[in-house]
Chains A and B, each alone.
Chain A
Amino acid sequence: MGKLSVDLCGIRLDNPVIPASGTFGFGYEFAELYDINCLGTFSFKGTTLEERYGNPLPRIAETSSGMLNAVGLQNPGVDKVIAEELPKLFQVFHKPVMANVSGFSIDGYVEVVRRLEAVKQIGWLEINISCPNVHGGGMSFGTDPKAAASVVEAVRKVTAKPLIIKLSPNVTDIVSIAKACEDKGADGISLINTLLGMRIDLKTKKPILANTTGGLSGPAIFPVALRMVYQVARAVKIPVIGMGGVSTAEDVIEMMMAGASAVEVGAANLVDPLACPKIIEDLPRVMERYRIDRLEDIIGAVE
């Protein structure tokens, strides 16, 4: 077992670096540039029951040290994902992959999970109850402990795969939501999804995003994400995946010290498509600098 290796819900990862859903497509764009099997795993594009176009353009706005997006869960729908996207993905990626599931009703989540359950190479199901860019569903399941619990309870019944619940930071008390998910049988928690934000074009006086608001990601949100990972990791017994503005090996180590068992990298992939392999390559050097022998030893090591 390598010194970068970590356990995620009973599956060994070669390293804790996981490109986050929505920033990595189905992997093959990145496979043009590098062998994506160097990754711990990756979380593929958020998948819903039906095909979705998403929101009108513009969907992207730049911010200081980050960006807003209001893509709105564009994806071809679960059947096309299974029939067309995953076969292409499996040609370039040979490790267990993380599926990311979104829905607009509990039945919608259940049906997508039921169909993905049959795909062997899917190692984990990451249930997104935190998308800020869709109306009805999405984040509304992730902002109330009872609603979150009802999603987890329902999907738990139709899958034996590790179930990771992706939480929204746009709440007053994220710990109570994480605990509600744990109580209903979640195997892990991933956080944070994007922070709700907005920009205005001074010339037109209109919001830059056609959706008016969007989700903020990038280094700007790292300290907020770190704080929430710290709070949740202390409150639950299941593994936590930390994400939000991670872009360097140092960020990965900081997230793990706060309590993350693995780390997702999002917006960084969009500005530097080689961000993840660079982080993985840098990790041993940074570990040496801080006298860390095995990454697993530092999970939650913050004093």
Chain B
Amino acid sequence: MKDERLKVLSNRPLTSGDSPVWEMVLSGVTEPMRPGQFVQIALPGRFLRRPISVCDLQEDPQSPGTFRLTIVYKIVGKGTADLTGYQPDDELSVLTGLGNGYDLSDSGDDPLLLGGGVGTPPMYFLAKELIKEGKNVRVILGFNRMDEVFYEKEFRHLGAEVTVTTVDGSYGEKGFVTDALPGGISSYYACGPEPMLKAVHKKIAAPGQLSFESRMGCGFGACMGCTMKTAGGYKRICKEGPVLRKEEILWEN
């Protein structure tokens, strides 16, 4: 965990509609982060910080030794609406490097990445790192409708094989991510709404890691506001999570 002051480089909508999704790039991160980790953003006038997953982290060409952070967030309430007002050069107080992140060491050669809605962003950083390691990465991105789809091109540019599903069939394959499962996968990584995680957990036999979200207090393990019961005992989603291995999950919280 690190307390950082980051500078906004860009902030733009990726989709339109009632709950649009935005992408923000920030500079000034001084310590590397792992795929699956998240940050906590402080917003003036809002008491609690907002937990948002790391979509990408790359070395800053203009400031060697520091990193640029990309986050992709959905407007779901007042805090995320506030975030859309930030302009280039504005500063934000951000706690970085939170949570455990995905374990890439036992992905096997053919990992499958599943992202549902705003569960998609952490899959981008993960896909990038797995492709760097020479893995054959396949990605399934699930959305409700065509106008909610984002980052398809970005995943393809990384070199991943991408399938998009929409619930209403307006784009890509009709159905849920679990309706488009390929064969021959060595492992899977999933992030998305809980019904999706449950379906994925039930349908895929390969080893899996699933990322959870929760209303949080602190985001760094102090308040016990987000604890889940797991097969390995009580785990704080913010500290021992947000990523759990599939055999740890009890689905009874």
Contacts and interface: CB of A to CB of B under 8 A. Distances in A.
Given A29-B220, A270-B217, A273-B1, A59 B48 contact: no
A293 B218 CA distance: 35
Interface stretch (A4-12, A64-72, A109-117, A294-302): A64-72
Interface stretch (A49-57, A99-107, A150-158, A250-258): A49-57
B223 A22 contact: yes
A57 B42 contact: no
B218 to A, nearest CB: 4
A59 B225 contact: yes
A27 to B, nearest CB: 9
A24 interface: yes
A267 B47 CA distance: 9
Given A58-B215, A218-B47, A269 B224 contact: no
Interface in A19-53: 22-25, 29-30, 32-33, 45, 53
Interface residues of B, number: 27
B49 A271 contact: yes
A32 B239 CA distance: 13
Given A29-B221, A74-B234, A271 B226 contact: no
A270 B222 contact: yes
A62 interface: yes
Nearest to A219: B47
A61 B216 CA distance: 8
A86 interface: no
Contacts of B225: 59-60, 69, 71
Contacts of B145: none
Contacts of B49: 271
B243 to A, nearest CB: 17
B226 A59 contact: yes
Given A33-B3, A54-B224, A62-B47, A270 B229 contact: no
Interface of A: 22-25, 29-30, 32-33, 45, 53-54, 56-67, 69, 71, 74, 208, 218-219, 267, 269-274
Interface of B: 1-3, 42, 46-49, 95, 214-218, 220-229, 234, 239, 253
7 contacts: A23-B218, A53-B229, A56-B253, A60-B223, A62-B47, A67-B48, A74-B227
